[in-house]
Amino acid sequence: MKDDQLRLTEIFYSIQGESTRAGLPCVFVRLSRCNLRCSWCDTPYSFKGGDKKSLDDIVAQVESYGCNLVEITGGEPLLQPDVHPLMTRLCDEGYEVLIETSGSLDIAPIDDRVRVIMDLKAPGSGEVEKNLWENIAELKPTDEVKIVVLDRQDFDWAVEACREHELFERVDEVHFSPVHGELDSNTLANWILEERLPVRLNLQIHKFMGVE
């Protein structure tokens, strides 16, 4: 087997449900495996299985949708080193490339043309110890930080993390996202408004639409 292969769970074309690109048509490349087990994870099916696919096959499938926006996600996409040549190739070919990552692995090797959407895991995920705080210094102003909030304890943690790490100064966009089906979006919205936070409420719109 050639080394330029990635273990892939799925490639699909849908409406981007999150981030500043929410609402736009997007091709999703979902890589397999994850080093975390967030309590509320919506993609545990990506933890096991998946097929090995060559970069050529992945790029060809992405191309078949005729869509300029591509998101690399998982599972945890940074677990497979060959994700880097894939992203560089997509950038070279003129795609706008996003990566969704947990923030538990080094983001420094990511191609500078890629928009990084990095989670910070709050205590309700059960994975708060995995945050790699050194990553914050690697973020570009155009990257995005997302904190998924389960409850008020997570919200207070998120506010403290933003202040302590000066996230509002470092990146243009900080998203707070309720755990879908667990925390009411109006409750999170009211907390954000009460605290006068310059964060964006991130709802996973694909889940309201009932699509992937």
Ligand X SMILES: Nc1nc2[nH]cc(C(=O)O)c2c(=O)[nH]1
Which residue of 6, 26, 31, 38 would you call a contact of ligand SF4, by CB under 6 A? 38
84: amino acid identity, one letter: H
Kindly state the helix (H) or strand (E) to which residue 5 belongs, with its residue range: strand 5-15
Task: Answer yes or no whether residue 76 interacts with ligand SF4 by CB under 6 A.
Answer: yes
Task: Answer yes or no whether residue 115 interacts with ligand SAM by CB under 6 A.
Answer: no
- The CA-based angle 32-155-178, given to 5 degrees, is 50
Nearest alpha carbon to residue 55 among 36, 69, 38, 72: 72
Task: Answer yes or no whether residue 177 interacts with ligand SAM by CB under 6 A.
Answer: yes
Shortest distance in whole angstroms from residue 2 CB to ligand SF4:
26
Q: Find which of ligand SAM, ligand X, ligand SF4, none residue 55 binds, CB within 5 to 8 Å per kind.
A: none
Question: Is 157 annotated among the ligand-binding residues?
Answer: no
User: Checking phi first, is residue 171 left (phi over 0); if not, alpha (psi -120 to 50) or beta?
Assistant: beta
Task: Answer yes or no whether residue 118 interacts with ligand SF4 by CB under 6 A.
Answer: no
For residue 80 the two structure tokens come to: 């497979």
Which residues have C-beta within 8 Å of that of residue 117, sequence separation ≥ 6? 18, 19, 98, 99, 100, 101, 143, 144, 145, 146
Question: Is 41 annotated among the ligand-binding residues?
Answer: yes
How far does Cα 185 stand from its chain's mean position? 19
Which residue of 74, 77, 124, 178 would you call a contact of ligand SF4, by CB under 6 A? 74
Which residue of 29, 38, 62, 73 would you call a contact of ligand X, by CB under 6 A? 73
Task: Answer yes or no whether residue 18 interacts with ligand SF4 by CB under 6 A.
Answer: no
Strands (DSSP E) along 56-153, which ranges?
69-73, 96-101, 115-120, 144-149
Residues that bind ligand X (CB under 6 A): 14-18, 28, 43, 73, 100, 206, 212
Residues that bind ligand SF4 (CB under 6 A): 34, 36-38, 41, 43, 74-76, 102
Residues that bind ligand SAM (CB under 6 A): 34, 40-43, 73-74, 76, 100-102, 119, 146, 148, 177, 179-180, 204
